[in-house]
Amino acid sequence: MDQACDDLMDSIDSPHPSFVKTPFEAQFLHQFSGPQLGSLCVDRGEEGRYVFALHVDFFNPEGLNIRGASTSCGIISMACLNLPLDIRYKPENMYLAGIIPGLKQLSLENLNHYICPLINDLVDAWQRDIKFSNTTCYPHGWLTRSAVAAVVCDLPAAHHIASMAGVGSHFYCSACNCYHKSTCGRVDFEKWEPQDREKLREYAEQWRDAATSSECERLFKAHGVRYSELWHLLYWDPSWQLVIDPMHCILEGLVQHHIQNLLGLTSELITSTSPSPAFACDFGKVPRTMTAKELTQISVIHTLLVSHIGSGNNQQVEECFDKLKSALSHKNSRPLKFACSSLHCMPQKVGRTLKIDYVKALVNWVSSSPR
């Protein structure tokens, strides 16, 4: 367990790796100050320095039923990051710090009552140190200091344990100062600024010291922060140490959203008899003079134009185009003219058989469009 600190100290002046494989390669532990001013956490000297990941999660012990989750219990656990990855999360090496009973998940700042004993122990373990009378490697005793390097939870639990506003609020991010739900999804990351740790602590302490509940509510609406027991840890910085675990964030969050909502790859698509569009095309603003029947036909024309064309031999492709011509020829002239105008494929000359001219123009547009 001491080897992780020693390896980092040996490479502390080396270039930062472009790909981080362990927490000890991350920037936070390279800069994490020790209990003495001007020292690093990993500069252990003749004592043990151990860093932990704190986990809080809620689950339904009775499983799900038709009506959804009926009960909710929580666990508070810790994993020592000094251990190699292959044994770090084995049950015998995990520390179960507490169980939060049901029947319902805790609300607001009430989680503080359950993490308070653990945080008090962690304060002593860092500021005052703890001496073990003997261990396997140190039979004459061993002095240790322990700290929390990361609080790893899913998104709701992360905001819960940090007593920050929920992810559905205007204060949706714990790492940067992006504000208001209307800005959610912005990608101008070069303008994002990290949360100010000292301001967050100030807001949390103002909430803690408020004289009335109405004053607490006013402060919370203004800053999106309540007081968390984690602030007893002098090194606590939620913008760095509050980590959203990758399973929930990436696999069940970003990837799921991308596949289901952006790509539309859902179970409904599998069972659907109608194929997905070959590509996208937008029609212009529909004139108000269109009748209800013509509006319906415009929608049908759009579907026909973006549908797949057979990718087999020439005969199959010709059959698809013949079906497209036949389907379009049954539509009224005004919807066909509107489609041609929107797609900028108006026929140069429109004779007496204007509907046929519109149909030909649309079919030519389909044949020349990339699919």
Query: What is the amino acid identity at position 85?
Result: L
What is the average pLDDT value for the chain, to the nearest integer? Answer: 86
Residue 284 lies in a domain: no
* Structural domain ending residue among the three candidates 188, 213, 246: 246
Q: Are residues 311 and 191 in the same domain?
A: no
Give the pLDDT of residue 67.
Answer: 59
Q: What is the 3-state secondary structure (H, E, C) of 213-251?
A: HHHHHHHHHHHCECCCHHHHCCCCCHHHHEEECHHHHHH
pLDDT digits (tens, 9 = 90+) for 137-164: 899 999 999 999 999 998 888 999 999 9
CB atoms within 10 A of CB 120: 12
Q: Are residues 347 and 232 in the same domain?
A: no
State the Cα–Cα distance between residues 173 and 185, nearest whole angstrom: 11
Share of the chain above pLDDT 70, in %: 91
Q: Are residues 11 and 117 in the same domain?
A: yes
State the Cα–Cα distance between residues 156 and 166, nearest whole angstrom: 7
Q: Are residues 55 and 111 in the same domain?
A: yes
- pTM (2 d.p.): 0.67
Residue 342 lies in a domain: yes
- Phi, psi for 316 (deg, rounded to 5): -65, -40
Residue 103 predicted with pLDDT over 90: no
Residue 281 lies in a domain: no
Q: What is the per-residue DSSP string for 303-327?
A: HHHHS----S-HHHHHHHHHHHHHH
Q: Are residues 103 and 211 in the same domain?
A: yes
Residue 264 lies in a domain: no
Residue 116 lies in a domain: yes
Question: Under 8 Å CB-to-CB from 228, ≥6 apart: which residues?
Answer: 109, 112, 161, 162, 163, 164, 204
pLDDT digits (tens, 9 = 90+) for 45-58: 899 999 999 999 88
E strand or H helix that includes residue 367? helix 354-368
Domain count, the chain: 2
Q: Are residues 345 and 203 in the same domain?
A: no
Q: Are residues 144 and 207 in the same domain?
A: yes
Give the number of C-alpha atoms closer than 13 A to the C-alpha of residue 300, restricted to the C-beta side. Answer: 15
Q: Are residues 11 and 145 in the same domain?
A: yes
pLDDT digits (tens, 9 = 90+) for 162-194: 999 988 899 988 888 888 888 887 788 888 888
Q: Are residues 93 and 209 in the same domain?
A: yes
Residue 218 predicted with pLDDT over 80: yes
Q: Are residues 222 and 330 in the same domain?
A: no
Domain limits for position 360: 292-368
SS3 142: strand
Q: Are residues 297 and 194 in the same domain?
A: no
Give the pLDDT of residue 95.
Answer: 95
Residue 266 lies in a domain: no
Give the pLDDT of residue 97.
Answer: 94
Residue 205 predicted with pLDDT over 60: yes
Give the pLDDT of residue 303.
Answer: 83
What letter does residue 30 receive in the DSSP assignment? Answer: H
Residue 213 lies in a domain: yes
Give the number of C-alpha atoms closer than 13 A to the C-alpha of residue 123, restricted to the C-beta side. Answer: 12
Give the pLDDT of residue 122.
Answer: 95
Residue 259 lies in a domain: no
Q: Are residues 224 and 335 in the same domain?
A: no
* Structural domain ending residue among the three candidates 246, 277, 301: 246
